[in-house]
Amino acid sequence: MDDLQWREGLFESFDKLVEIEVCKQKSLVPENNKILRGFQYLKTDTISVGDYCWNGDCVNCQIWYEADAGEIKGALACKMYVREGLVISALSAELQEDLFGD
C-alpha cells in the first residue's frame, strides 16, 4: 500500500505543507492541522503509537513556542493548529523522544 494512501483520513484536508521550526530544525507539515498531527506526519511510526490522549486530558504533548510578541508560551500540540513560521522552542520529554530519539 502506498505510504500516502494509508495516511488518508488521519489529517484534516490540506492543500499544501507549511514550514515550522521545531527545536531549531525546520520541517514541513500539513496546513489546517493541529501540531500533534503535524508531528505525526513527520514521524508516523513513533507519534502514532506514543502515549498521547489526542484530546487534551494529558500533558504529554506539551510544547513551548514563540508567540507574536516574542514571549515563550506553553500549549498542547493536540489543541493548537500549525501556522506558517511557527517556532517551537521546547517539547515535552515524550515528544522529544518520539520526534528526535533513536
Tens-digit pLDDT profile for residues 40-65: 999 999 999 999 999 999 999 999 99
The three-class DSSP label of residue 98 is helix
Residue 29 has a CB neighbour count (10 Å cut-off) of 22
pTM: 0.89
Q: What's the CA gap between 77 and 97, in Å, rounded? A: 15
What's the one-letter identity of residue 24? Answer: K
Q: Does the pLDDT of residue 78 top 50, yes or no?
A: yes
Looking at the domain that runs over 18-100, which CATH code has it been given?
3.10.20
Separation of alpha carbons 79 and 63, rounded Å = 11
Q: Residue 29 in contact with residue 17, Cβ under 8 Å?
A: yes
